[in-house]
Amino acid sequence: MAKWAYNGIADFGLNGGFQQVANRVCIATAQPATYANWGTYAVGTLACASANFTLGTGDTNGRKLSYGPATIVVGTSGTVNHIAFAGTTGSGTLVFVGTCAPTAVTAAGTVILAAWDVDEINDPT
């Protein structure tokens, strides 16, 4: 018997579990493992909102969440190798961490993040 799922199920997980929680993105010099690390390793941060994210059809199937292009001003020089999202409400929540090509950045410079897929939930099989 074939399996099928309403797209709203995946959208709810991507939207409620990520898009509605994450309100800051940072470029980081190491992989944050906690919200406290997020602030420690961040060399540039930017506020983000629901409008910065797009829910759409997955690359293979299912649904995906994409983050639109953004420009982050560098606060501290260093070598960036991670991009991380956090929710800053209350004590803070580390939401997502991804890697990027190691890139040297200089204080007061800018880093342009191209649009990219943050997460994808495949259809049931």
Q: Please give the model's pTM, rounded to 2 decimal places.
A: 0.89
CA-based nearest residue to 29, from 86, 88, 77: 77
* pLDDT, tens only, 10-24: 999 999 888 889 999
For residue 49, which of 29, 70, 34, 64 has the smallest C-alpha distance? 70
CB-based burial label for 108 (10 Å; 0-12, 13-18, 19+)? exposed
Residue 52's pLDDT is 94
Q: Give per-residue pLDDT as tens, 90-117.
A: 779 999 999 999 999 999 999 999 999 9
Instruction: Count CB neighbours of 16 within 10 A.
Output: 10
Domain boundaries, the chain: 7-118
